[in-house]
Structure 1
Amino acid sequence: MSRVTNNAKAGFKKVSHVIFDMDGLLLDSECLYTEASVNVLNQFNKTFTHEMKISVMGMTGRESAKFLIKHLELSVPVEEFMRLMNIEYQHIMPNAKLMPGAEQLVKHLHKNNIPIAVATSSCKESFDLKTQNHKHFFNLFHHTVTGGSDPEVGSGKPSPDIFLVCASRFPDKPKPYDCLVLEDAPNGVTAAVSAGMQCVMVPDKETSPEKCQHATLILPSLTDLKPELFGLPAIK
């Protein structure tokens, strides 16, 4: 069942552009990130908890590494931690599958000439690794911003930088209020709202309600999104 937050009590606003997060929203890769994190932290006899997962969701790889090293008091350089994570990624990330409803929604918007883009905290190398088996799907987007390696993205989520940069790269440069963001992570929702955009959240089932309170609309799956609520063509 969908849930509307207080931010949307007055109704939804019409938009013209849609920006998608990738991990956990388009690609079922958050479970793979968890697997990689568990494997690496096991090497330090540390446990990767769900609370840690929620905290780092939406962060760039470097920001996530810094957070875990500080939080767990690990005596390892950031570069070495990232190297260990990358070894894990090489094995498991190509196995990422599309999330339920992702293909139908993206193809629908593309067919109806709605400008769409991806704003992911991944670096370009990680993006290419995870999407190598879904190139046709990701070619439907006008552009992709890889926050982990894009020089114009000063700070990762929850900073609004990545969404503002992403909006600026559409040819017609829409205003923030003309963009709808689709996200799964609390940090991403905060970033979208801070950018002045409406945000539909499809959270992990274990994400607590208080972590979702800033979203414009909360849905259990992309299959439940009704684009017409935001002035976009309805899926028939």
Structure 2
Amino acid sequence: MVMPEGLFFFAKFSILKTYCLLQGTILHPKTIVRYAVKLTPYAIFDMDGTLLCSTGMWDHVTDRILAKYGKTITHEQRMANMTLTVEGTAAMFVQQLGVPLTEPECAELIRAEARYGYAQEATVKPGVEQVLAAMHARGVRMCVASGTETPLIEAALTSHGLMRWFEFAVDCKNPDGKKKPDVYLDALHRFGVQNPVQATVFEDSPVGIATARAAGFATVGIYDEPMAEFWPQITQTADFASRTWQDWLQNVQQTGPAPRK
């Protein structure tokens, strides 16, 4: 019996999606072509929760500062804080939570606590070093775009031996952070490129993924335990989603050099 073309496509898709689920990866149903995971010439990486296990570290920073002044934070406020810059977090602490400091004073306190946290608490996510080496070997140019300030990014990645893989790091210039695509576009333009389809954004945040994808970037969602409640949303939004960097590495190893314009 000859299977109708539409049914054959559905069968192929179902088999492929089942394979992805078994491998711990999720195929976005609308982007089956992208599952080939063809490397783009440029890659833009988030840092916290994507390259480093540091999302929980930021929770500790928040808790230490608020405990010092007898303040508390709700779960909703903590989640909203994930996408804010240092200045945005300082504004939240002072305006919403009543921390008795000026916003610049609070921002400096956050930076000091973050420097300690990156040095003493953050760790590199398993598989990151191997992925960066594999992408570099295939000619992908890489940078970091984060809500964390550039000096903190560079210090954190240098201390963990990762900064050598990246050409530069950029941070969010607006307090709303990655709710707007500015930081991704800034990174793209630093490469001397205008078209977002030339770059892939790697993120653990559903906000960052949605923003980057809406701006025209290819997107890869990376699982981070502190953001587990958002994983279903990430798998429905990102072009490709993986629970581990090792899963992504398997796909990178099956690709050739990144295409150039």
Mark yes or no: TM-score above 0.5: yes
For 1:110, the equivalent position in structure 2 comes to: 136
Q: What CA distance in whole angstroms lies between the structure 2 residues aligned with 1:217 and 1:126?
A: 28
2:169 aligned to which of 116, 135, 144: 144
Superposition pairs of residues 1-236 of structure 1, within 5 angstroms: 1-9=24-32, 11-12=34-35, 14=38, 15-95=40-120, 96-135=122-161, 137-147=162-172, 156-171=177-192, 173=193, 175-205=195-225, 206-209=228-231, 211-212=233-234, 213-226=236-249, 228=251, 232-233=255-256
* Aligned residue identity for 2:195: K
Q: What CA distance in whole angstroms lies between the structure 1 residues aligned with 2:223 and 2:75?
A: 13
TM-score by length of 2: 0.75
Q: 1:221 to 1:49 in 2, by over 3 A?
A: farther
Q: 1:7 to 1:79 in 2, by over 3 A?
A: farther
* Aligned residue identity for 1:2: T
User: Do the aligned residues in 2 keep the contact of 1:25 with 1:99 (CA within 8 Å)?
Assistant: yes
SS of the residue corresponding to residue 89 of structure 1 reads: helix
Higher helix share: 2
* Aligned residue identity for 2:114: Y
Query: What CA RMSD, in Å, does the superposition of the two structures yield over aligned residues?
Result: 2.8
Q: 1:48 to 1:204 in 2, by over 3 A?
A: farther
* Aligned residue identity for 2:160: H
TM-aligned CA deviation for residue 37 of structure 1: 0.5
| Paired-residue identity, % | 24
SS of the residue corresponding to residue 145 of structure 2 reads: strand
Deviation per residue, 1:54-74 (Å, 9 max, x gap): 322232111222234444354
Could you tell which deviates more after superposition, 204-213 or 138-147? 204-213
Q: What CA distance in whole angstroms lies between the structure 2 residues aligned with 1:227 and 1:65?
A: 40
SS of the residue corresponding to residue 139 of structure 1 reads: helix
SS of the residue corresponding to residue 118 of structure 1 reads: strand
Could you tell which deviates more after superposition, 173-182 or 41-50? 41-50
Q: What CA distance in whole angstroms lies between the structure 2 residues aligned with 1:211 and 1:53?
A: 18
User: Do the aligned residues in 1 keep the contact of 2:86 with 2:111 (CA within 8 Å)?
Assistant: no
SS of the residue corresponding to residue 3 of structure 1 reads: strand
User: Do the aligned residues in 2 keep the contact of 1:203 with 1:219 (CA within 8 Å)?
Assistant: yes
Q: What CA distance in whole angstroms lies between the structure 1 residues aligned with 2:89 and 2:256?
A: 37
Give 5+ residue unaligned stretches, structure 2.
1-23
Structure of greater Rg? 2
Q: What CA distance in whole angstroms lies between the structure 2 residues aligned with 1:222 and 1:38?
A: 29
* Aligned residue identity for 1:168: H
Aligned length: 228
User: Do the aligned residues in 1 keep the contact of 2:209 with 2:219 (CA within 8 Å)?
Assistant: yes
